[in-house]
Amino acid sequence: MNEENKYQQIQDYLEGRLDEAAETAFEAEMDRDAELKTEVDLHRLSGDAIELIIADELRDDLKALQEENKQRPVPEKKVRPLRRRLTSLSIAASVLLLIGFFAVNYTANQYDNDAIADTYYQNDLLQRVRGAGSESLLQEGMTLYENGEYEAAIEYLDGVDNPSLVAEAKYAAAHAHFNLGQYAAAIDDFLVVADSDDPRFAEKAEFYYLLSALAADQTSTDTFNTILEKILNNEAHLHHNDVLKINQKLQSFWRKF
Amino acid sequence: MRVGFKNDAAIVRAIKSGGSQRQRAIRFLYQVNQETLKKVVAYVRSNSGNEQDGQDMFHEGIIVLDRNVRAGKFRGESSLAGYLYSICRFLWMNQVRKHSRTDLREDNSTMDQTETENPESLSLEEEKKKVLANVLTQLGDRCKKILELWKLSYSMQEIADQLDFSSAAMATKNKYKCHKKLMNYLKAHPQVMNLLR
């Protein structure tokens, strides 16, 4: 075998392009031929070295992106002469008096529970691999969910009983209930997931529980306040910043007004 | 203009397909994960680090995510944002342990254990960076670029177009030469090979 052919065969082996028989034969040859084994090792290590090059390039790209984000212009506030500002303010005050009623009405609406839940809610889709049994039910449920067929999705998801998949199924079912406006059911399912301590979903479930409780106007319960406080006090929580903003709205003058 | 991706699966596909698709996907991932960045910075700051450490960890996290997605190690069992956050936390915990700066609060409870690797295998160490600098000098810019594009699944025709080779066959020939040059360098420097192992 000439050098280039040997080179190509090693690459084909490492990149999984050999069929099963050829792969077995190649491995047997490696066991017999120490030199070939060393050569394969060298190919592997060279791949790692190229990965270092790729990482270094990407690191530079990310730094450039970071700079780009920093340099995005922040709108400047214009400073205007006092007399002009007073005139403008007088006009603005008159106009405000006229539209005040409507403005108050509109603004208050931005701070009601439904509006807050709507603002922060996003479908949180998951992708899974296909499997058997409960996994197949979960997969079917997820597919229906992704297609917006929420009621059918819930039927499949509620059938999942494999303990290792229940949190994921409940989490998806909770979102399906939320999308159907079935907030009480969404609350129940999100709480189950939040209590499951499944690291993939527990923090998200806590956040979506809050949104469901807002949508259902159940914000005076102990559970709501406990979870709200928990997220507010944990800076590393996935949704800490969102909940900070929500809490500001909950405490806002306009909401109380 | 930001080019959107429908969901995580679309981002994964774009990263795997390499080329400009991968670049767009990584750019998108960076921009839509600004909240994750804030969380990473908060985590790092609450565990003996500063803002810059947090930024660096976020970048290292994206680098590891990119590599794992291309290597087929990300199986889609969690969201990309959650996966990225788990990697960043793992990387930072690993770094703090290595430097023994302080007692780091264990946070395994929220780690995505199904998909995150052993932290030892995730970190790009300073020594490896020095090795990289040596390797790059030896290879030269053009060889470096050919090998990088090849590893990122660019076709030989795309490599030929980007680097002004007359044909895909010429690109293949040059890729072979550059790869051999890299392997000969490694063979001649066992200490470098040991670092890569």
Neighboring chain B residues of A58 at a CB cutoff of 8 Å: 26, 62-63, 66
Can you name the CATH fold of B1-117?
A: Rna Polymerase Sigma Factor; Chain: A (1.10.1740)
Task: Check A200 against B124: CB less than 8 A apart.
Answer: no
**Domain map of chain B by residue range?**
1-117, 118-197
Rg (CA), chain B: 19
Task: Check A199 against B111: CB less than 8 A apart.
Answer: yes
Give residue ranges of A with CB < 8 Å to any B CB.
4, 7, 42-43, 45-59, 61-63, 65-66, 69, 124-129, 197, 199-200, 202-203, 235-238, 240-242
Once rounded to an integer, what is the mean pLDDT over residues B43-68? 93
DSSP B104: P
pLDDT tens figures, B144-190 = 899 999 988 888 998 999 999 999 999 999 999 999 999 998 888 88
Using an 8 Å Cβ cutoff, are A204 and A238 in contact?
A: yes
Give residue B45's pLDDT.
93
* CA distance, residue A220 to nearest chain B CA (Å): 28
Neighboring chain B residues of A238 at a CB cutoff of 8 Å: 39, 82, 85
**Chain A interface disruption, residue of B57, B127, B179, B185, most A CBs within 10 A:** B179
Query: Which residue in chain B has the smallest CA separation from A127?
Result: B76
Nearest to A203 among B110, B113, B186 (CB): B110
pLDDT band at B83 (very low <50, low <70, confident <90, very high): very high
pLDDT tens figures, B92-128 = 988 888 776 444 444 444 444 444 444 344 444 666 6
Instruction: Record the pTM.
Output: 0.53
Report how far apart, in Å, the C-alpha atoms of B69 and of each of B78, B110, B150 are. 13, 21, 16
Average pLDDT, chain A: 81
Say yes or no to pLDDT of A140 above 60: yes
Using an 8 Å Cβ cutoff, are A189 and A197 in contact?
A: no
- Inter-chain CB pairs, A–B, below 8 Å: 124
